[in-house]
Amino acid sequence: MTGTASPGIVIAGAGIGGLAAALALHARGLRVTLVEEAEEIRPLGVGINIQPAAIGELTALGLGGKLAATGIATREHRYLDHKGTTVWTEARGIAAGNDFPQYSIHRGELQMMLLDAVHSRLGVDAIRTATRVRGFEQDADGVRVQVSSRSGGESTLEADALVAGDGMHSVIRAQLHPDGSPLRRTPVRMWRGLTEIPEFIDGRTMIIASDDRSNRMVAYPCSRPHAERGKVLLNWVCLAADPEWQGEVQLSPGKFEDLLPHFADWDFGWLDIRAALESSGQLMHHVMADRDPLPSWGENRVTLLGDAAHPMYPIGANGGTQAILDGVALAAELADAGEDVPGAFKRYESVRLPAANAIVEANRSMDHSERTLAESSVDEMAAGLETITTDYQDVVDRSSATRH
């Protein structure tokens, strides 16, 4: 497959995974068109963590300086009880001996960073917005991607390959696997928000706090520009089990009256938790969910990446990282493929599918183990967390290798 004469590669979805894949493919000399349903790509969402393996890949794509200027290089995960007592600490990023940081960053700012790079390197015409992928047909010579615009028009894009980065509810995944891997809900509700506060520990620490009812709170600074102004933009996530609740899985506006009772008796002393939560400009809510790992992702000239391939619990903070690693691995295989796109996709899946599926299972295990520790003593929790975090990092390290 050549970069000049071929119709190129169509990527469905201009999220973090799709944009990173486009940059990696372009760096290998391949032509890419992204198709995005949103009419305008805007800096939406809350915080996200990108792990060192993916930061290394983005740095190789020339984004290291912008990442450092935008995100916070997190140095520690600090596990607390609901009264603020430290139970266990874990070094992260450079402090843990990695070559690259772990960045806590606003998801929308990261997406805009990737989008700007795509526009400057591939051109603004590389992304077709307000366009929805409806399905595909393929044969030995290529893929015909069926799309529709917001104005109602329908058309077909001819491509050498189709990559689905269209998220947990992927249309392409549903066509490839019509009977497989339905959405797997949990009883865990999640509320997310962003709050500006004067200070938060050393400005580079993430806290993971819990009580004996399995309520949990994760919070961390996520903005370098705020830090340079002497402020903290605090991203926070609150989790509470509610087996009776049957609402939507999708992210939607939440209500503080649903959230606050779960954390009414929490008091760290150094942080007014209720004020921090209520000061959020917007409260978002969803149910924690994933899908069972697939035995295969794609077929011939069509494959999946990111949440379309392996939606996972946010426990472990690895979803965005795995999507970036998918895109880099995909580009490496396609660059060497010649005309053998199906062979490249098979090699891509042979590397990334077991790696990402291992993270899906590890996130489930970590969530269960953390909740199981809820009623333990501080000493029992410390010993348990040491085992949980060590075992999880072993899985992550084994799953993060990419081919260049």
Q: Mind listing the pLDDT tens digit for each residue in 67-99? A: 999 999 999 999 999 999 999 999 999 999 999
- Residue 301 tokens read as 């000239």
Domain map of the chain by residue range? 1-40+129-183+297-368, 46-106+185-288
- Mean pLDDT score, 246-267: 90
Distance between CA 286 and CA 45 in Å, rounded?
13
Q: Mind listing the pLDDT tens digit for each residue in 279-327? A: 998 899 999 999 999 999 999 999 999 999 999 999 999 999 999 999 9
Distance between CA 113 and CA 115 in Å, rounded?
5
pLDDT score of 367 more than 80 = yes
* pTM for this prediction: 0.95
Least confident of 19-33, 45-59, 173-187, 190-204: 173-187
Strand-pair partners of 240: 189
pLDDT for residue 403: 59
Alpha-carbon 139 to chain mean position: 32
pLDDT for residue 302: 99
pLDDT score of 262 more than 50 = yes
Sequence-distant (≥ 6) Cβ neighbours of residue 152 within 8 angstroms: none
Confidence category of residue 233, pLDDT binned at 50, 70, 90? very high
pLDDT for residue 7: 66
Q: Mind listing the pLDDT tens digit for each residue in 4-36? A: 445 699 999 999 999 999 999 999 999 999 999
Distance between CA 176 and CA 354 in Å, rounded?
18
Average pLDDT, the chain: 94
Classify 46-106+185-288 by CATH class: alpha beta
pLDDT for residue 152: 80
Q: Of 82, 369, 83, give the one whose Cα is nearest residue 211.
A: 82
Q: In this structure, what DSSP letter does residue 124 have?
A: G
- Mean pLDDT score, 360-375: 92
Burial of 5 (0-12, 13-18, 19+ CB in 10 A): exposed
- Let me know: does 184 contact 145? Beta carbons within 8 Å: no
pLDDT for residue 6: 55
- Let me know: does 232 contact 83? Beta carbons within 8 Å: no
Sign of CA dihedral 120, 123, 125, 126: negative
pLDDT for residue 180: 77
Distance between CA 1 and CA 175 in Å, rounded?
25
Distance between CA 156 and CA 150 in Å, rounded?
15
For residue 10, count other CB atoms closer than 10 A to its CB: 26
Helix and strand totals (H; E) in the chain? 11, 19
Distance between CA 363 and CA 355 in Å, rounded?
13
Q: Mind listing the pLDDT tens digit for each residue in 161-187? A: 999 999 999 999 999 999 878 889 898
Confidence category of residue 399, pLDDT binned at 50, 70, 90? confident
Confidence category of residue 194, pLDDT binned at 50, 70, 90? very high
Distance between CA 171 and CA 132 in Å, rounded?
9
Same fold, 1-40+129-183+297-368 and 46-106+185-288: no
Q: Could you tell me the fold of the domain covering 1-40+129-183+297-368?
A: FAD/NAD(P)-binding domain (3.50.50)
